[in-house]
Amino acid sequence: MRMGGARSRVWCLALALASAPVAHAGETLQDAWTVALQANSGFQAARIGVAAAQSDLSAARRERIPTIHTMNAQTFLSQSPAFKINAPQLGAISPGLSSFSFPFLNQNFFFSSTLMNIPLYTGGRIQSGVDRSAAAVGVAHATTETSALDLKIEVAKAYLNVLRLEKLVMLNETSVKNLEAHVRDVQSLFDEGAASRNDLLSVQVSLARSRQKALQTQNELETARAQYNQLLSRPLDAPVQLEEIRLSQVQPEHAAEAAARIDVESPAEKQTRAAEKKTESDAEIARLTELAIRNRPELAGLSAQAAELAASARQVEAGHKPQVGVLGGYIYFQDSHLTDPNFFTGSIVAQWTLFDGRKSKTRADGLRMREAQTLRLRQDAASLIALSIRRAWETTQSDRARLTVSQAAIDRARENLRVARERYVQQVGTNTEVLDAETLRVQTYTDYYDVFYDLVLDGFTLQRAVGLL
């Protein structure tokens, strides 16, 4: 018919638009990560925690430095202190000399002292304090790195969700265009008496549903953009234009390339390759797990936390040991009874708590038990990390296979729609076939976009599991 060629060109154009990659010259994921790490309050709070821990470490190291104290006092007494002397022998000479007193301090006097305290031996108390503060710095660094990894994976999820929904919005727009063109075809056939009213009504209902779906997807896209802006600490309604991510950026092998190779293999070759792939996968999982054990900040943080508890226990135990130091300095005593008010002093001071009701030992035992608890938690965390890597790896392999299937299904869905459309225009097919073909095309593309971005996210998830995102 006359309209067949024109309508076919419209449908082909719509199909091409749905399958064409979208060119973006916008923000890259690396740009987004940089902005998020600079602006996110949670991450910045973690960095402040590192600075605070480093200040504590500096203070702990300065415990070794001698301390100088000065004290100055002007004292006022109700009367001058005096010595009372009883001397009966002198009473034989003079009755007034048998008992007498004389002052040895003024009623008001000034006292000043400047003393230096130098620790000589503390039983390891100072070194244990330094070790505890150094371990606390390690905990703070691990917390910061964990916060950065968590933030980056959340930004990646939001980024990919925006890209996925942009594709779905475009897909739904092409579906609306397709159905609008089909409505015109059915209307023309109906006007010529070649199509039933039921055909016209059904395609109009399908068009309305497609428009509703397009509006719903557009709303989901706006919500996804707002969530993305929130993670980057931007106004929720700020414009969002993102650069597309290629699968090769996060996946070493494109599923289509693997499929092209596998399709030419015989069953025996496929079985052999499956066994080889299983061995390769197990080896790669083991390598990634070993890498994660070395790199995951959560494990480093738990190790540092255990070290902090151990150092705290040693510090408590050291407080029960002798504390030896040198105390010396200058003393000024303003008093008219003294021939010289200036004194220089030096002392070796030893303090030793002989008994404290076992408080120190009990507290140290509690810290040791918390250290053991933390090390147990680290073992459990290492096991969970190994599980997360295996899960991420298996999910990646599954999604690669899904992508291969989805790519093949897209070509078939496009061909199915083309054939159904031509059959209907030639009046050898039904309207239902066209609507079903369009629905199948939209679902096939939706499945493809979902698995494509799932596979991209799998790459980032695996990197997060290893601790190298």
Confidence of residue 82 (pLDDT cuts 50, 70, 90): confident
- Per-residue pLDDT tens over the stretch 304-354: 999 999 999 999 999 888 999 999 999 999 888 888 899 999 999 998 988
Indicate if the pLDDT at residue 102 is higher than 80: no
**Mean pLDDT score, 369-385:** 96
CATH number at residue 268: 1.20.1600.10
Indicate if the pLDDT at residue 218 is higher than 90: yes
Confidence of residue 99 (pLDDT cuts 50, 70, 90): low
- The boundaries of the domain holding residue 407 are 2-466
**What is the 3-state secondary structure of the chain?**
CHHHHHHHHHHHHHHHHHHCCCCCCCECHHHHHHHHHHHCHHHHHHHHHHHHHHHHHHHHHHHHCCEEEEEEEEEECCCCCEEEEECHHHHCCCHHHCEEEEECCCCEEEEEEEEEEEEEECCCHHHHHHHHHHHHHHHHHHHHHHHHHHHHHHHHHHHHHHHHHHHHHHHHHHHHHHHHHHHHHHHHHHHCCCCCHHHHHHHHHHHHHHHHHHHHHHHHHHHHHHHHHHHCCCCCCCCCCECCCCHHHCCCCCHHHHHHHHCCCCHHHHHHHHHHHHHHHHHHHHHHHHHHHHHCHHHHHHHHHHHHHHHHHHHHHHCCCCEEEEEEEEEEEECCCCCCCEEEEEEEEEECCCCCCCHHHHHHHHHHHHHHHHHHHHHHHHHHHHHHHHHHHHHHHHHHHHHHHHHHHHHHHHHHHHHHHHHHHCCCCCHHHHHHHHHHHHHHHHHHHHHHHHHHHHHHHHHHHHCCC
pTM of the model: 0.79
Give the per-residue pLDDT at 93. Answer: 67
Total structural domains within the chain: 1
- Per-residue pLDDT tens over the stretch 182-215: 888 888 888 888 878 888 888 899 999 999 999 9
Indicate if the pLDDT at residue 289 is higher than 90: yes
Indicate if the pLDDT at residue 358 is higher than 50: yes
